[in-house]
Amino acid sequence: MIQLLTPTHWKDYELIDCGDFEKLERFGNIVIIRPEPQAVWSKQLSQGEWQRLYHIKFKGRSATSGEWLKKNPATPDRWHIEYKNSEVAIRLRLALTSFKHVGVFPEQAVNWDHISQTLKKFKTPEPKVLNLFAYTGGASLIAQAAGADTTHVDSIKQVVNWANENQELSGLNNIRWVVEDALKFVKRELKRGKKYHGIILDPPAFGHGPNGEKWKLEDNINEMMRDVVQLLDPEEHFLILNTYSLGFSSVIVENLIKGAYPQVQSLETGELYLQATSGVKLPLGVFGKFSTVKV
Q: CA 18 → CA 25, 67, 81, 178, 194, distances in Å?
A: 9, 20, 22, 36, 44
- Contact between 27 and 15 under an 8 Å Cβ cutoff? The reply is no
Residue 55 pLDDT: 98
Residues 6+ apart with CB under 8 A from 192: none
pLDDT of residue 63: 58
- 79-291: same fold as 7-76? no
Residues 107, 284 contacting (CB under 8 angstroms):
yes
CB of 12 within 8 A of CB of 81? yes
| Domain-wise residue ranges, the chain | 7-76, 79-291
Give pLDDT, residue 1: 53
Task: Please give the chain's pLDDT, 295 residues, in tens.
Answer: 568 888 889 999 999 999 999 999 999 999 999 999 999 999 999 999 999 999 999 998 665 678 999 999 999 999 999 999 999 999 999 999 988 999 999 999 999 999 999 999 999 999 999 999 999 999 999 999 999 999 999 999 999 999 999 999 999 999 999 999 999 999 999 999 999 999 999 998 888 888 888 888 889 999 999 999 999 999 999 999 999 866 789 999 999 999 999 999 899 999 999 999 999 999 999 999 999 998 8
Confidence at residue 243, expressed as pLDDT on a 0 to 100 scale: 93
If you classify domain 79-291 with CATH, what class do you get?
Answer: alpha beta
What does CATH list as the number for 7-76? 2.60.40.1180
- pLDDT of 255 reads 96
